[in-house]
C-alpha cells in the first residue's frame, strides 16, 4: 500500500474511509482522470458522497501527484459527464411515458407529472444550478431536467457552473487540510443524514396526505351510493 493510501486510513474503518482509500488508489493509478471517473460514478450512484471523494482529489493534489487545477478541471468534467447520463435517461423517459407510469402507480396522479414539468420549466435553471450543491439531489436533479426538455447546452453550462462551485469548496478543503481530511468526513456524515432525513420526512408526508385523501374519497363515494 502506498504512503498516500496509508494516510487516508488513519481515520478509522468506516465505509467512508474505505471509499476514500479506493478513490486515492484510483487517482494514483490513472491520475486526475481517476478523480473525474470517481465523481462521474458518484453522480450515477447518489449514496456515494462527493463530500468524501472530492477532498481526496485535493489531498492527492497536495502530495504532488497532479496539480490543483487538474483536480478541479477533471472533477468538474466528471460531474458533467455523470449528470448527462441521467439527463439522457430523463429525455428518454419523457413526460408522456412518466404520465403513463404515474397513472399505474398507487398514490400517484398524472397531474403530479404535469405539475412537476411545469414547475421545472419555470424554475429549472435555478434548480439545476443550486441542486448541484445538495447531496443526493446533485444526481436526481438531472432526470427532471431531461424530462422537461431543458436544452442540452443550457443543462451542461448550469451543471458545470454549479459543480465547479461545489467541487472547489471540497477539493480546496482536502488540499489545505491534507492528512487531516477526516475533519470533513464528520461533517459529510451529518450533512448527508440531514438530507436523507428531510427526504424521508417529505415522502412520509406525501404518503399520509394521499392515503387520507383516498380514504375521504372512498367515504364520500359510499355516502353518495347509500
Query: Over the range 186-197, which residues count as b (16 or more CB within 10 Å of their CB) and which as e?
Result: eebeeebeeeee
Per the model's pLDDT, the better-predicted residue between 26 and 160 turns out to be 160
Report yes or no: 170 and 51 within 8 Å, Cβ to Cβ.
Answer: yes
Indicate the pTM of the whole model: 0.83
Residue in the block written with cell 445538495? 134
Task: At 115, list the grid cell.
Answer: 405539475
Query: Mean pLDDT across the stretch 110-114?
Result: 88
pLDDT at position 65 is: 87
Longest dimension (CA), the chain: 79
pLDDT at position 39 is: 94
Does the structure show a pLDDT above 90 at 184? no
pLDDT digits (tens, 9 = 90+) for 202-213: 889 988 987 888
Report yes or no: 155 and 128 within 8 Å, Cβ to Cβ.
Answer: yes
Query: Mean pLDDT across the stretch 1-6?
Result: 47
Query: Mean pLDDT across the stretch 67-96?
Result: 96
Give the C-alpha separation, 173 to 160, whole Å.
19
pLDDT at position 69 is: 96
Q: Which range has highest mean pLDDT (27-31, 99-103, 114-118, 164-168)?
A: 164-168
- Residues 6 or more apart from 154 whose CB is under 8 A from it? 125
Report yes or no: 145 and 29 within 8 Å, Cβ to Cβ.
Answer: no
Does the structure show a pLDDT above 80 at 17? no
Give the C-alpha separation, 30 to 44, whole Å.
20
pLDDT at position 219 is: 80
pLDDT at position 104 is: 86
Q: DSSP characters for 19-38?
A: HHHHHHHHHHHHTHHHHHHH
Does the structure show a pLDDT above 90 at 3? no
Per the model's pLDDT, the better-predicted residue between 12 and 174 turns out to be 174
Task: Decide: helix, strand or coil at residue 167.
Answer: helix
Give the C-alpha separation, 136 to 203, whole Å.
15
Amino acid at each position: 500500500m502506498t504512503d498516500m493510501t496509508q494516510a487516508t486510513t488513519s481515520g478509522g474503518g468506516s465505509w467512508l474511509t474505505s471509499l476514500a482509500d479506493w478513490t486515492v488508489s484510483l487517482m494514483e493509478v490513472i491520475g486526475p482522470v481517476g478523480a473525474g471517473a470517481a465523481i462521474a460514478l458518484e453522480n450515477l450512484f447518489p449514496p456515494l458522497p462527493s463530500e468524501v471523494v472530492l477532498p481526496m482529489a485535493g489531498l492527492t493534489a497536495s502530495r504532488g501527484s497532479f496539480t490543483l487545477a487538474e483536480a478541479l478541471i477533471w472533477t468538474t468534467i466528471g460531474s458533467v459527464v455523470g449528470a448527462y447520463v441521467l439527463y439522457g435517461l430523463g429525455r428518454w423517459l419523457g413526460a408522456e411515458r412518466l404520465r403513463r407510469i404515474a397513472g399505474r402507480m398507487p398514490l400517484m396522479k398524472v397531474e403530479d407529472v404535469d405539475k412537476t414539468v411545469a414547475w421545472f420549466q419555470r424554475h429549472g435553471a435555478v434548480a439545476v444550478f443550486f441542486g448541484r450543491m445538495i447531496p443526493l439531489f446533485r444526481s436526481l436533479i438531472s432526470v427532471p431536467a431531461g424530462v422537461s426538455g431543458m436544452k442540452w447546452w443550457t443543462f451542461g453550462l448550469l451543471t458545470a457552473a454549479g459543480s465547479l462551485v461545489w467541487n472547489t469548496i471540497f477539493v480546496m478543503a482536502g488540499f489545505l487540510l491534507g492528512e487531516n481530511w477526516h475533519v470533513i468526513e464528520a461533517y459529510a456524515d451529518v450533512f448527508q443524514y440531514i438530507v436523507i432525513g428531510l427526504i424521508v420526512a417529505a415522502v412520509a408526508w406525501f404518503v399520509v396526505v394521499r392515503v387520507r385523501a383516498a380514504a375521504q374519497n372512498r367515504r364520500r363515494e359510499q355516502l353518495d351510493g347509500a
